[in-house]
């Protein structure tokens, strides 16, 4: 791929930011507040008028699951893009600082919080004496929760080691644990559901985490041919990831909401309303991805694709937040 002289737009999009530090801090603060507020306040809004009962601590569980999903996206995205960087001719040696250790720590704390909820019979513990740690080994949900705690702990140690690539194995264990948790043995065809969740969660994590790390890498590299080549490599794989996420998400939804009732449940149930919000967000993300891909192919400077890509990664962050909320809401009724 060849580049013309970088335009000022590309330099501003991928190069060092020229915005004042105060504006950037305010933007980060607003996003952080939104990321916390949606899971905490979302259950009451989604359940309003549905007649469905909410479990105690639904907002807290949704927040913990949001942190867990984000902690999964960051290291998987770094590993994914790291492999792509090795295929870029003339790639600069400079690389952004890894966020994997911090993500593993956040994931460990989130998994620990979720395990404490399971240890008290899916109730929010108000004291340490209420938590039955030994009881976690007696139930399927408890074992899955412990698996996630241990997996994030091991992933953090691997991220700090000389071979961070091995953290892919404990992270894969987290994906498997989430798939098993989402589809209990009492469900119809739980293995099919778990398989769909594994593909869906893996592709979504690579998509969101990968785009985040690509943008961080381009910011580190600055304008040039290697940056455009890396963005092109990611864009080609991202198209496949989007197709896989859409297909598995639609299939999973149809399994839980049969075609004859899906339209009604999308508006009359909390799960359906949140799912509809997620679908709309994914549609926005897909439009932004198409816009970035068009710029990458047709613009005089391919790095102008960074502008819509930055908006895309923020939208993907909102998808992660809504996904965390979706896992905490009551499942729809199969009529």
Query: Distance between CA atoms of 180 and 129, rounded to whole angstroms?
Result: 28
**What token pair was written down for 242?**
């989007």
Q: Is residue 228 part of a domain?
A: yes
* Residue among 36, 160, 146 at smallest CA distance from 98: 160
Instruction: Name the residue with tokens 């060092």.
Output: 16
122-161 tens-digit pLDDT: 777 777 777 777 778 888 889 999 999 999 999 999 999 9
Residue 287 lies in a domain: yes
H helix intervals, the chain? 8-14, 21-47, 58-85, 100-119, 140-160, 168-182, 190-221, 225-256, 262-268, 270-298, 306-328
Domain around 262: 56-325
- Tokens 């999903």 label which residue? 69
Higher pLDDT, 83 or 307: 83
**Alpha-carbon dihedral angle through residues 27, 29, 31, 37, given to the nearest 10 degrees:** -150
- pLDDT digit string (tens) for 225-236? 888 889 889 999
Cα 296 from chain centroid?
Answer: 24
The string of pLDDT tens digits covering residues 24-51 is 555 555 555 555 555 555 566 666 656 5
| Residue 103, pLDDT score | 96
In a domain, 335, yes or no: no
Q: CA 68, 326, 289: angle at the middle one, nearest 5? A: 80
pLDDT digits (tens, 9 = 90+) for 59-86: 888 889 999 999 999 999 999 999 999 9
With contact defined as beta carbons under 8 Å apart, do 323 and 278 qualify?
yes
State residue 202's pLDDT score: 97
Which of 280, 290, 291 is closest to 315 using CA atoms? 280
Q: What is the pLDDT of residue 176?
A: 96
Q: How far apart are CA 263 and CA 165, in angstroms?
A: 44
Instruction: Identify whether 195 is part of a domain.
Output: yes
- Asked if the structure places residue 331 within a domain, the reply is no
- pTM of this structure: 0.84
| 127 part of a folded domain | yes
Q: What is the pLDDT of residue 24?
A: 53
Give the count of domains, the chain: 1
Give CA–CA dist 246/239, Å, rounded: 11
Checking if the pLDDT of 114 tops 50, the result is yes
At residue 98, φ and ψ (nearest 5 deg) are -70, 135
Q: To the nearest 10°, the Cα dihedral for 209, 321, 277, 312?
A: -30
Place of tokens 């989430």: 178
In a domain, 289, yes or no: yes
Any idea what DSSP says for residue 128? G
> Is residue 313 in a domain?
yes
Task: Decide: residue 109, CB within 10 A, 0-12 exposed, 13-18 middle, 19+ buried.
Answer: middle
CB-based contact 59:42 (threshold 8 Å): yes
Structure tokens at 320: 């992660």
What pLDDT is recorded for position 47? Answer: 64
- Residues 130-167: b if buried by 16+ CB within 10 A, e if exposed: ebbeeebeeeebbebbbbbbbbbbbbbebbeeeebebb
Distance CA(157)–CA(222), nearest Å, equals 31
174 within 8 A of 152, measured Cβ to Cβ? yes
274 close to 328: Cβ distance less than 8 angstroms: no
């Amino acid at each position: 791929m060849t580049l013309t002289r970088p335009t000022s737009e590309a330099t501003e999009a991928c190069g060092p930011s020229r915005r004042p530090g105060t504006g950037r801090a305010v933007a980060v603060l607003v996003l952080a507040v939104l990321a916390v507020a949606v899971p905490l306040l979302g259950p009451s809004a989604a359940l309003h008028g549905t007649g469905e009962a909410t479990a105690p601590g639904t907002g807290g569980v949704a927040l913990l699951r949001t942190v867990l999903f984000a902690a999964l996206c960051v290291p998987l995205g770094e590993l994914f893009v790291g492999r792509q960087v090795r295929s870029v001719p003339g790639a600069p040696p400079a690389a952004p600082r890894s966020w994997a250790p911090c993500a593993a720590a956040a994931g460990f704390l989130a998994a620990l919080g979720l395990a404490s909820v399971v240890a008290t019979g899916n109730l929010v513990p108000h004291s340490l004496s209420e938590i039955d740690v030994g009881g976690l080994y007696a139930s399927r949900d408890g074992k899955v929760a412990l698996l996630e705690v241990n997996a994030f702990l091991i992933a953090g140690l691997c991220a700090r080691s000389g071979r961070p690539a091995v953290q892919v194995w404990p992270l894969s264990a987290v994906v498997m644990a989430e798939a098993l948790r989402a589809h209990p043995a009492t469900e119809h065809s739980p293995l099919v559901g778990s398989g769909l969740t594994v593909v869906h969660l893996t592709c979504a994590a690579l998509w969101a985490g990968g785009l985040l790390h690509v943008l961080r890498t381009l910011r580190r590299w600055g304008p040039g041919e290697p940056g455009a080549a890396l963005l092109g490599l990611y864009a080609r794989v991202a198209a496949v990831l989007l197709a896989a996420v859409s297909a598995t998400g639609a299939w999973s939804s149809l399994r839980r909401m049969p075609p004859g009732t899906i339209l009604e449940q999308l508006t009359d149930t909390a799960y359906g309303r949140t799912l509809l919000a997620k679908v709309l967000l994914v549609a926005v993300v897909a439009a932004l991805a198409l816009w970035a891909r068009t710029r990458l192919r047709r613009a005089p400077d391919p790095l102008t694709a960074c502008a819509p890509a930055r908006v895309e990664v923020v939208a993907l962050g909102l998808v992660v937040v809504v996904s965390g909320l979706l896992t905490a809401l009551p499942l729809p009724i199969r009529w």
